[in-house]
Structure 1
Amino acid sequence: MTEIVRVPLSLREIRLNRTASYLRYGAIINGILAVGILLIGALAGINMPDLFTTTANITLMRYSGTADTALIIVMLIALANLSALLVLMIGVLAQEFWSPLAIWLVVAVNSYLLVVYGFIPALITILAASAAGLTAMMNLSAFRINPLMLKELRERMRGARAFVVMSVYLALMSAFAVLIFLIESNNSSATSVTGALGRNVFRGIIGLQLLLIVFIAPAFTAGAISSERERKTYDLLQITLLPKPSFVIGKLESALSYIFLLLLAAIPLQSMAFLFGGVTQDELIVAFVILVVTAIMLGTLGMYFSTTVDRTLTASVRAYTITFALTVGLPLVLGLVISILNQLFIVDQVNV
């Protein structure tokens, strides 16, 4: 019977695991906080309305809005911190170069929320991320640019496919923007053409970008790992000195980097809306953030199925099924539920 020999961890590995543990504990506590806020909302809706206001005043002290809005904000920030800490944990285990800087960025953002808005739960993330950041600073030499990501990017950009995809992408965006301009300029009066035209062009471009990301992001990541298995090259990656998380992170980074390049290339088209007015700089930034978050979410979804399924076709089908369920099915279901609830509310009002 073969005996498994456990190799003792080096000092570098111990520090990396400790850094990841701090981030994991912070993520767990933020998850518990989000669930607690949800339970408080349920209890307040049943028979404890004062609990709503008290919790809002404690968790978000300097917010001047309503208590229910404050608790929603607290829950969303807690979920955002949960996601950020989990991503940082994987980045630390993969020894990504951006991990230490991103840890301190999370600390800075939560410190800002604590000072400006009185977001008391930010202390959880600040303590966890600060402990992780200090531990990571002791071992900065362990973090480096992912070599697998560099390899994938070089292979992707050397061929003509990357430039063809970008050209077709920008051509579609430009044609759609011109089409919206022609339609709106003919339908709008001379006094209102500028503001309305700018808003409609901006919405059309963002909507088309979002639609293209829904199709592109899962396609770029669904075959990242499964294609290595199909080509019988996955075992070659495993015998390298890279840690296992680096395989997944490197593949994901290479795919998302190209998607981010597509988003950046379309910013001049979005900026055309400024020529007609009706769009602010904040709206442009928020729209870009939404596109980036959507690309990361769908890309990660495709990567998940690529790691759990042996065939690329199966991974792609599952990734697109979940993608369309989230982007099309879920809004339809929510709209149907809201419509039914509104009808019931109207009936109750009439009966009263």
Structure 2
Amino acid sequence: MMERFSNPVLSKELKLRFRAFKSFSGLMFYLAVLCIFVAGFLLIYTRFSGTAFFRPSDSFTMFVALSVIQMGLVMFITPGLTAGSISTEREKQTLNILLTTTQSSTQIIGGKLLSSVAFLILMLIAGLPLYSLVFLFGGVSPSQLITIFLFYLVTLIAIGSIGIMFSTITKKTIVSMIATYGAMIFLGGITAFFFFIGISMEQMAIHSATGLAQNATPFSPITYFCAGINPGALIITILYPEMASSLESAVGISMPIWIVYLIFYTLLTVFCLFVAIRKLRANMKTNR
């Protein structure tokens, strides 16, 4: 029974990844960056003296900054871990050997993705002691921390799936990484740009309507969708509930954006994994 659910690809990838020196050097660098930021933040807010007070409001500001930085690191590191999963095997000429084993395409893709996700989860867990400083000074509820980390998990799985898909459908690792980082730029930057354009156009349309400036009700589903799939907008609305209310009133839609975020990235993950599984052996037949 256990052999049916075993995944040799996942076991092999976990051993190789967690035994490699570059993995733990990368983890050490990641924690060093967070430590430098926290130490600098504390020194600045205490005015480089040991007698100044660190208020709960300052602690919440540090929590917000840490959350944004970690989301940025997740979006930056995840493509580097997943975008070369299949294309590297192809470049080393070991993919055909892997495909001749008894492992299914689902096991191969799932093993590659889960090994990368496991390492990213280790990085997030390793940073928890730094978050404990926030609870030491107060100002943040445990529910906020749990919510943020749950959406970290959803985001890194989705980004990992995008990287796996591009790694499967492209032949070169560099092309896969460029495409994956391009997708991250679109999800994090272009959607924010479209959101601000949509808000500006909506406000201009309301104020240009004669006699309707006071009574017009905004309704902009495209602007709302751009905000709903943006990781930065999600974190801001989770940390600042009043910002979520302002966003809902600005676009005329009262549904919380975390629902859109969860649905979109779940569907994106399923689609990317489906394409990767279907195209894995198709590429091998084409190369013949």
Same fold, TM-score > 0.5, yes or no: yes
Match of residue 25 from structure 2? 164
Secondary structure of 1:186 counterpart: coil
Amino acid at match of 2:59: G
Cα-to-partner distance string for 1:31-86 (whole Å, 9 max, x where unaligned): xxxxxxxxxxxxxxxxxxxxxxxxxxxxxxxxxxxxxxxxxxxxxxxxxxxxxxxx
- Give, in whole Å, the separation in 2 of the partners of 1:142 and 1:346: 66
- Judging changes above 3 Å, is the alpha-carbon distance between structure 1 residues 196 and 153 closer, same or farther for their aligned structure 2 residues? same
Letter in 1 for 2:103: L
Matched, 1:233 2:94: yes
Distance 2:4 2:11 in 1: 15
CA distance in 2: counterparts of 1:148 and 1:350, whole angstroms:
61
Q: Which amino acid aligns with 2:124?
A: L
User: Residue 253 of structure 1 corresponds to which residue in structure 2?
Assistant: 114
* Residue 334 (structure 1) aligns with: 195
Give the C-alpha shift of residue 225 in structure 1.
Answer: 0.3
Where in structure 1 are there 5+ consecutive unaligned residues? 1-139
Q: Give the alignment partner of residue 281 of structure 1, picking from 142, 153, 178.
A: 142
Identity of aligned residues (%): 30
CA distance in 2, matches of 1:290, 1:184: 29
Is the Cα–Cα contact under 8 Å of residues 46 and 53 in structure 2 kept in the other structure?
no
Aligned to 2:182: 321
SS in 1 for 2:84: coil
Which one-letter code corresponds to 1:319 in the other structure? T
Give the secondary structure class of the aligned counterpart of 2:55.
Answer: helix
Q: How does 1:89-168 map to 2 (within 5 A)?
A: 143-168=4-29
2:255 maps to none
Tell me the residue number matched to 2:167.
Answer: 306
Amino acid at match of 2:164: M
- Between 1:257-266 and 1:201-210, the stretch displaced more is 201-210
**Equivalent of residue 78 in structure 2, options 217, 222, 237:** 217
Say whether residues 1:269 and 2:135 are aligned partners.
no
Structure 2 unaligned segments of length 5 or more: list them.
216-288
Q: Structure 1 length as normaliser, TM-score?
A: 0.57
How far apart are 1:192 and its partner, in Å?
A: 8.3
> Where does residue 57 of structure 2 map in the other structure?
196
Measure the CA separation in 1 of the matches of 2:64 and 2:54.
15
Q: What is the rounded CA distance, in whole Å, between the counterparts of 2:185 and 2:17 in structure 1?
A: 27
Q: Identify if the C-alpha distance between structure 1 residues 172 and 344 changes in structure 2 by more than 3 Å, giving closer, same or farther.
A: same
Secondary structure at the aligned position of 1:225 is classed as helix
SS of the residue aligned with 1:177? helix
Q: Distance in 1 between matches of 2:207 and 2:56?
A: 36
Q: Matches of 2:52 and 2:38 in 1, distance apart?
A: 21
Deviations 1:111-140 (A, max 9, x none): xxxxxxxxxxxxxxxxxxxxxxxxxxxxx5
Q: Distance in 1 between matches of 2:52 and 2:39?
A: 20
Q: Matched residues in 1 for 2:21 and 2:160: separation? A: 22
Change beyond 3 A, Cα 1:145–1:194: farther
Preserved CA contact (<8 Å) 1:206 1:270 = no
User: 8 Å contact 2:45–2:58 — kept in the other structure?
Assistant: yes
Residues 166 and 176, structure 2, Cα contact 8 Å, conserved in 1: yes
Aligned counterparts of 1:256 and 1:143: Cα–Cα separation in 2 = 22
* Number of the residue aligned with 1:43: none
1:89-122 Cα shifts (integer Å, max 9, x gaps): xxxxxxxxxxxxxxxxxxxxxxxxxxxxxxxxxx
Structure 1 distance, partners of 2:23, 2:64, is: 26
Please state whether the residue corresponding to 1:240 is helix, strand or coil.
coil
Query: Residue 178 of structure 2 aligns to which amino acid in structure 1?
Result: V
The letter for the 2-side match of 1:152 is E
Checking the alignment, whether the CA contact within 8 Å between 2:163 and 2:180 is kept in structure 1 is yes
Bigger-Rg structure (1/2): 1
Does the 8 Å CA contact 1:181/1:197 hold for their aligned counterparts?
no
> Which amino acid in structure 2 is aligned with residue 221 of structure 1?
T
The alpha carbon displacement at 1:294 in A equals 1.3
Q: CA deviation at 1:293?
A: 1.2
| Residues 1:192 and 1:350: Cα distance change in structure 2 (over 3 Å) | farther
Check the 8 A contact 2:10/2:112 in 1, yes or no.
yes
